[in-house]
Amino acid sequence: MPHKITLTGSATGPLREYDRYVAFDMREKGSPSAPKGLKKSTFISYTVFVAKKAFNKTGLTKKSIMHEKILIQGEPTLDIPIDECPGEVGVICFQITVLPNKKDKEGNEKEAKQEAFAAQQEVAATKQEEKPVTTSQPAPKEEKKETKAVQLEVKQEPTEEKKAEPKKKTLPNQPKGTQDLLNFDDIIVPEAFLKTRPNAEKTQKVIDFVKRTGRLDEPLTIEKGSNVLKDGYRRYVVAKTVKMDKVPVMYEYQKS
């Protein structure tokens, strides 16, 4: 089985162009807590090699690659000449993705809050219109009793609705079909999925959707009880790329 490697960060050196590919350097820091008895790993430098066609699709330039945060998925190689590979390890890139920056994420959250506030105002305005209209003319005693009874019913209805609301489990700003929000780290991905490579163009479209809306376009399908991923590996990769803490899921129950 070929080795796989994933790098996240920005280029630490200028972009170098060759005949059919481009190359740039990156650095990754080791884990802050190594297993007991082992030495902590330090920075490792990498030289990433990307086909020009794949690189051009990202929209990156010689200047922007030094500032944009990117995700590299590929395999390590030690067969590149040292004059083309100044890093300690060479990486043949199979997929390159530009990650959303912090400002984009904050913008999406602000937009979602504004939409929620507008929806609350609309509901409040609707309830205001439903309030009974009273007239200044005095009504007969019997009519007054009926009016009081109607007003009492109208006042009681919102109370009943408020009591019923907490019973409903609502998941705001989540895709249709979402049954629950699950911690990303709790999802177990089968080996069969890990061996596949989602289409880069389709994956980028989902990333762009998350940038605009702040959520995935569809929930992941998870086996109830075991948390094994059954469908939606592309969206799993996107959630990992944008570092989602929780992801929307729908459950598939085990067959007895």
Q: How confident is the model at residue 20 (pLDDT cuts 50, 70, 90)?
A: very high
Provide the CATH number for the domain around residue 88.
2.40.50.1040
Contact 229, 187 (CB under 8 A): yes
pLDDT digits (tens, 9 = 90+) for 221-246: 999 989 999 999 999 999 999 998 99
Q: Of residues 133 and 202, which shows the higher confidence score?
A: 202
Q: Is residue 111, in this structure, part of any structural domain at all?
A: no
CA atoms within 13 A on the CB side of 46: 24
Strand 89-98 with 70-77, pairing: antiparallel
**CA distance to 24, 158, 174, per residue, from 6 (Å):** 15, 54, 28
Q: Is residue 237, in this structure, part of any structural domain at all?
A: yes
Q: For the chain, what percent of residues have pLDDT higher than 70? A: 77
The residue with tokens 């019923």 is 164
Tokens at 100, concatenated: 């959303």
Q: How confident is the model at residue 168 (pLDDT cuts 50, 70, 90)?
A: very low
The residue with tokens 């609705």 is 161
Q: Is residue 115, in this structure, part of any structural domain at all?
A: no
Taking residues 138-160, report their average pLDDT.
55
In the chain, the number of structural domains is 2
Q: Which one-letter DSSP state was computed for residue 75? A: E
Provide the CATH number for the domain around residue 231.
3.90.1530.10
Backbone φ and ψ of 24, nearest 5° = -155, 165
Domain boundary residue among 70, 101, 132?
Answer: 101
pLDDT value, residue 92: 94
Q: Quote the pTM value.
A: 0.41
pLDDT digits (tens, 9 = 90+) for 175-233: 888 999 989 999 999 988 988 888 999 999 999 998 888 889 999 999 998 999 999 99
Q: Is residue 171, in this structure, part of any structural domain at all?
A: no
User: What is the extent of the structural domain holding 186?
Assistant: 180-252
